[in-house]
Amino acid sequence: MKFEKEISSFLELEYGKTPQDATPTQLYNAVSKAAMRFLAPSWHKQPGKKRACYFSAEFLVGRLVYSNLMNLRLLEKCEDYLKQHGIDPAVFEQIEDDALGNGGLGRLAACFLDSAATHNLPLDGYGIRYRYGLFKQYFKDGFQKETADDWLRFGDPWSVCRPQEKVMVEFGDQKVWAVPYDMPVIGFGGKTINTLRLWEAQGVNEFDFDLFNKQQYELAVKERDEAEWISAVLYPNDDTPQGKRLRLKQQYFFSSASLQSILREYVARHGEDFSFFSQEYAIQLNDTHPTVSIPELLRILMGEYHLPFDQAFTIVKDTFAYTNHTIMAEALEKWDVNLFVSVLPSVYPYVVMIDDSLKRELRSCGILGGDQEKYKIVCTNMVHMARMAIYATHSTNGVARIHTEILKDRVLHEWFSLYPDRFNNKTNGITQRRWLALCNRPLADFITQKIGDGWITDLDQLERLRPLADDSTVLAQFMEIKAEKKKELCAYIKEQEGVQLCADFIFDVQIKRLHEYKRQLLNAFCILDIYFGLKDGRVKDFYPTVFLFGAKAAPGYYRAKGIIKFINEIARLINGDPKMKGKMQVLFVQNYNVSYAQKLIPAADISEQISTAGTEASGTSNMKFMLNGAVTLGTLDGANIEIVERAGEENNYIFGATVQEIEEARDSYHPKKLYEENPRIKRVVDTLIDGTFSDGKTGMFKELYDSLLEGADWHKADQYYLLLDFIPYCEQRLKVNRDYADRLSFTRKCFLNTANAGKFSSDRTIMEYANEIWDIG
């Protein structure tokens, strides 16, 4: 049946509706289901090929309907169909994102799946089907409030439940079913369709009506509720794990279920001869969250299939590889041994076996006694997951060049000395299908007009734009597209936030999770400094600017929430000051997510990437902004370094201490001295305590103030060097502002950022994983 017919017939059959009187949710389900029927014949595994499996606690895929239709080449057909029935093709924007991820790590996983399918690489994702994804955020009196993300209320037309493929997962105190839901991962053009398999936890006892009596009923319900609790909710902490029992259960739940389903497939082909296993499967561990897969595979191979340790461990090492996403010490996962044993009593002995094997290996390398401490997987009553992930795999990679270098030189130096060949870099990337073709159609069309559409699957072709950088007509068109996207964003923001922004201002954007190391507070201070400068007359000829923020704070991260409140207070002050009319506006948008990013990024002139050098592993929004023609105002951190290397330092705005300079400054750093000596610093920092703003008597602002000047039990004063970088940041920000006034030369910089963004396609990244780690190229 034709795609359009299929939509109408679904509407009729399921809802008794015509397109005209269907609700957006009904239309969404009908269109999606019609597309699912369309793709079904191509959704199968190619036999006899090695597959890579991406194990990740998060997949932040974002809204799927438009991207799936685009990849199936059905988007225009669908839009025509909707228009024919008098429906706005943007109707599906009411369907919210499914947000089964926190931020960069989960979004990277989604980009990888898109890239692999597009390039016909057999890569499947394995994770958790959270009933509730990342919380939704709104502001009340400038404070963040959270509500549940009930993403299933729109239906879930892109998943297929496969109850016949369920597997049992056993904990010390509980048994549950893991039921898989498969989503098609559609490569561009629709030729290759891989699978994202997400597991849902369900109770094991079917309710037995014959035994019905009150007590049994309650027991059955309790058992079911406790099972479902495992996949109920995504932990909202980005970069900081919580050593919670339920979190460990989640990790084991999807690790064990995924391994069981892979092994079931394998055994069906080969019986119990496991000698081909690592030639047929590669498993990538997305951070340490799925690392319990390592002892679990060992447990299955040894405990259930009776392989000897050496043989099983070789299979484990050859199969698994590990990606590290952060050097923040607090993010390196450790589990209390007692907790681990009580949740996973049958897995723990295999952790000990791995640790014993490690100790033997250390001994054979002449590392003895106390020198072994920093390697031991079980050490001071903790299970160190990163250590296990490095020792029991054949590959450990960082996610940007500088990040990998820091891992090798410092954070994991002892491991690098032991296994130098295991370490490698895979600089992150983003998919240009979502982050250009879909989110910025005017720019996509413009590029296609100039160089053809090959860039959609080969982003390096953007290089062919370079010769056009000196053509002023081309630049004028480029500028016009940015202006158009700003207007669209303003209309959207007016609707969402009730705030009217000026579309002809500079758009300066910082969007990412709220974290001290990402330094949204530094951005806020700098805005205040410009504000005071404008009021005093110190800052002259300032090109009017909208300062935009988007970020969620982990609900328990008190300081991060204080920073949100602080920025909202600044926005209130500045937006309410009649003298600032036509000069500056500040806005913190609510509920920043993938779909919001798709609107903010194309409209940005300036991409704020201001983390303390050495703290942001890679960053990925930096790449999205670059691709959409914004200049980076940033530190030499993460992938910013590689971005300016490609696009030219002269086309971006770098400032601040380098990794090396920060290291050198560390011991002699006195933020209080800077504060006392520099009146500009003092003035902005004092707004935290001098009554300029109110934190609703929570004490949040004073606590932020103290964190900068006094420190706390667990850290020194100003641990992220805001005050050190403050003046260079303000100066550089004013320089961008001056440069912007020369519209043509500024647009040239933006244009050259787009033209040089080729390297940052996740197509490049995923091919590196495929060739250098998984051997599926």
Q: Which parts of 619-638 interact with ligand GP0 (CB under 6 A)?
A: 619-620, 638
Strands 174-186 and 160-161, how do they pair?
Answer: antiparallel
- Judge whether 624 counts as a catalytic residue: yes
Query: Smallest distance from the beta carbon of 611 to ligand GP0, in angstroms?
Result: 8
Residue 642 binds to ligand GP0 (criterion: CB under 6 A): no
- Closest to ligand GP0 by CB, 51 vs 403, is 403
Strands 51-55 and 123-128, how do they pair?
Answer: parallel
Strands 281-286 and 143-147, how do they pair?
Answer: unpaired
Whether residue 492 contacts residue 482, with contact meaning beta carbons closer than 8 Å, is answered with no
Query: Smallest distance from the beta carbon of 504 to ligand GP0, in angstroms?
Result: 31
The number of C-alpha atoms within 13 Å of 268 and in the hemisphere containing its C-beta is 7
Residue 768 binds to ligand GP0 (criterion: CB under 6 A): no
Dihedral, CA of residue 315, residue 317, residue 319 and residue 322, to nearest 10: 160
Answer for which of 52, 99, 108, 183 binds ligand GP0 (CB under 6 A) is: 108
- Judge whether 680 counts as a catalytic residue: no
Across 559-571, b (16+ Cβ under 10 Å) vs e yields: bbbbbbbbbbbbb
- Judge whether 518 counts as a catalytic residue: yes
Answer for which of 4, 114, 238, 516 binds ligand GP0 (CB under 6 A) is: 238
Residue 118 binds to ligand GP0 (criterion: CB under 6 A): no
Ramachandran assignment for 461, one of left (phi > 0), alpha (psi -120 to 50 degrees), beta (any other): alpha
Q: What is the DSSP letter of 691?
A: S
The stretch among 5-13, 32-40, 99-107, 552-560 that binds ligand GP0 (CB under 6 A) is 99-107
Residue with tokens 């960069």: 104
Residue 608 binds to ligand GP0 (criterion: CB under 6 A): no
Query: Smallest distance from the beta carbon of 618 to ligand GP0, in angstroms?
Result: 3
The stretch among 16-24, 104-112, 126-134, 687-695 that binds ligand GP0 (CB under 6 A) is 104-112
Q: Which parts of 375-404 interact with ligand GP0 (CB under 6 A)?
A: 399
Q: Which of 155, 93, 95 is nearest to 598 (CA)?
A: 93
Q: What's phi and psi for 580, nearest 5 deg?
A: -90, 0
Residue 114 binds to ligand GP0 (criterion: CB under 6 A): no
- Judge whether 620 counts as a catalytic residue: yes
Binding map of ligand GP0 across residues 414-453, x = CB under 6 A, - = no contact: --------------x-------------------------
Q: Which of 270, 357, 269 is nearest to 312 (CA)?
A: 357
The stretch among 29-37, 103-111, 660-668, 720-728 that binds ligand GP0 (CB under 6 A) is 103-111
Q: What is the DSSP letter of 448?
A: H
Which tokens is 421 given?
Answer: 């060949």
Residue from 131, 512, 565, 733 carrying the catalytic annotation:
512
Cβ atoms < 10 Å from Cβ of 473: 8
* Separation of alpha carbons 476 and 150, rounded Å: 44
- Name the residue with the smallest CB distance to ligand GP0: 104
- Closest to ligand GP0 by CB, 289 vs 299, is 289
Whether residue 198 contacts residue 159, with contact meaning beta carbons closer than 8 Å, is answered with yes
- Closest to ligand GP0 by CB, 4 vs 616, is 616
Residue from 624, 646, 749, 759 carrying the catalytic annotation:
624
Query: Smallest distance from the beta carbon of 102 to ligand GP0, in angstroms?
Result: 6
* Burial bucket for residue 220 (CB in 10 Å: 0-12, 13-18, 19+): middle
* Separation of alpha carbons 462 and 454, rounded Å: 9
Answer for which of 247, 249, 325, 733 binds ligand GP0 (CB under 6 A) is: 325
- Closest to ligand GP0 by CB, 400 vs 570, is 400
Element of type H or E holding 597? helix 594-603
Q: What's phi and psi for 86, nearest 5 deg?
A: 70, 25
**3-state DSSP assignment of residue 159:** coil
Answer for which of 393, 618, 632, 640 binds ligand GP0 (CB under 6 A) is: 618
Query: Smallest distance from the beta carbon of 324 to ligand GP0, in angstroms?
Result: 8
CA 349 to chain centre: 34
* Separation of alpha carbons 191 and 656, rounded Å: 47
* Burial bucket for residue 728 (CB in 10 Å: 0-12, 13-18, 19+): middle
Residue from 620, 635, 747, 765 carrying the catalytic annotation:
620
Residue from 513, 552, 565, 764 carrying the catalytic annotation:
513
- Judge whether 17 counts as a catalytic residue: no
Residue 529 binds to ligand GP0 (criterion: CB under 6 A): no
Residue from 249, 518, 599, 733 carrying the catalytic annotation:
518
- Judge whether 394 counts as a catalytic residue: no
The stretch among 359-367, 617-625, 668-676, 756-764 that binds ligand GP0 (CB under 6 A) is 617-625
Q: What is the DSSP letter of 769?
A: I
Answer for which of 287, 333, 355, 637 binds ligand GP0 (CB under 6 A) is: 287
Answer for which of 95, 105, 563, 601 binds ligand GP0 (CB under 6 A) is: 105
DSSP of 246-283: HHHHHHHHHHHHHHHHHHHHHHHHHTT-GGGHHHHEEE
Residue 250 binds to ligand GP0 (criterion: CB under 6 A): no
Residue 477 binds to ligand GP0 (criterion: CB under 6 A): no
Instruction: Point out the residues that are catalytic.
Output: 325, 512-513, 518, 620, 624
Name the residues that contact ligand GP0, by CB under 6 A.
Answer: 102-105, 108, 238-239, 287, 325-326, 331, 399, 428, 616-620, 638
